[in-house]
Amino acid sequence: MQEKIKKNLIGFILGVITVFSISVIAATYFPSKDVTYDNTASGLQSTNVQGAIDELYGVCTTPSITLPDLLPDNPDELYKDEHGNIRYYGKNPNNYIYFNCSDQNNQSTSTCDLWRIIGVIDNKIKIIKDESIGKRIWDISQRNNWTRPAELNTYLNVTYYNSINETYKNMISEETYYLGGPTNSVSNATDYDKLTASGYYEVERNANNVNNGYNATTKQYIGLMYPSDYGYAAGSNCLSTIVYNYQNSCKNNDYLSIGVDEWFQTSFFRSQYNILHLTSNGAISGSNYFVNKTDSYEVRPTLYLNENVNIIDGDGSKTNPYQLSL
């Protein structure tokens, strides 16, 4: 029996990367093609692309996530960053996905929330809500300690999390979020206005870039996007551009810039007051924006999907988003 299996975001791309040991310095793009897998030899009836690719090439690995039939219409919407994560990029890639549907058997814009797939980060599918869930302050304490917990942390991981449909709540993986941040001086290489996407990625995960008494990481279900997520979403042409300067051109090719002022997950290092946020014109800001009751910005939740989540339908376009099932 011949079983025609299309590549998926993790299975095909990571499978091919593993098999051929591709070394990626910055951004590598992958062509679009189908994979025909004859599973009669093993008797397997799997629709897991990673398993099919692995058996086809004799690779003995276990897929970290099963997402069958995830095939973007345009393969140039995906690239691998220099840290090994696979990301969607561009002005409007086909990375739309339904989530938190009131009727899983009838997934549509009237029954579901619309989200977007950021990519495969740390071998987990990371998604972000396409629109804001409203404006909220970061914390009433006038401090930028996320694990205090900040009011926004509590809102996202208690109030908002508990508002999610139980079926979809079971799709969410509790993951490590990184709390390192940039500095805010005039001469430091890690200043928020001097970092590229990769520079942000590194300071976010640097345990030394947190204030005294603050945690470097936290485990949570719901978070916010990082500045690095925003930076990488503009694609390889902007990887050498300081993210602070994205309002000049790169934000026009960045689907995560939706024209609103919104909070990032990231706060400042060596400051107990400042939080980073994305401005409506696509710039990263933090200077003069202190944590207080008057600073209320838009909130777009992010989360990671569990390994047992499958994509059962859709092509990722806005008119036909991917549909999920356990």
Express each pLDDT in 88-117 by its tens digit: 999 999 999 999 999 999 999 999 999 999
**pTM of this structure:** 0.79
Average pLDDT, the chain: 78
Q: Which residue in 320, 325, 324 sits closest to 108, CA to CA?
A: 320
| pLDDT value, residue 183 | 87
How far is Cα 58 from Cα 284, in angstroms, rounded to an integer? 46
Write down the pLDDT at residue 7. 38
**Percent residues over pLDDT 70 in the chain:** 74
Contacts of 144 by beta carbon, 8 Å cutoff, 6+ apart: 138, 150, 211, 267, 268, 271, 272, 273, 274, 275, 291
pLDDT digits (tens, 9 = 90+) for 246-291: 987 899 999 999 999 999 999 888 877 788 999 999 999 875 455 5
Q: Span 187-211, mean pLDDT?
A: 91
Q: Which residues, in sequence order, are CB contacts of 282 under 8 Å at separation 6+?
A: 246, 247, 250, 251, 252, 254, 257
Q: Is the pLDDT of residue 131 over 60?
A: yes
Q: How confident is the model at residue 215 (pLDDT cuts 50, 70, 90)?
A: very high
One DSSP character per residue, 8-39 reads -TTHHHHHHHHHHT---SS-B-----EEEEE-
Position 311 confidence tier, pLDDT thresholds 50, 70, 90: confident
Tracing tokens 């409506």 back to the chain, one arrives at: 280
Share of the chain above pLDDT 90, in %: 52
Residue 162, token pair as written in the block: 């508990």
Confidence of residue 65 (pLDDT cuts 50, 70, 90): very low
Please give the pLDDT value at position 265: 92
pLDDT score for 187: 67
Q: How many other CB atoms are there within 10 angstroms of residue 319's CB atom?
A: 9
30-34, 97-101, 150-154, 185-189: segment of lowest average pLDDT? 30-34
Which pLDDT value is given to residue 293?
58
State yes or no: pLDDT of 157 exceeds 70: yes
pLDDT at residue 137 tops 70: yes
d(CA 21, CA 165): 41
Q: How confident is the model at residue 192 (pLDDT cuts 50, 70, 90)?
A: confident
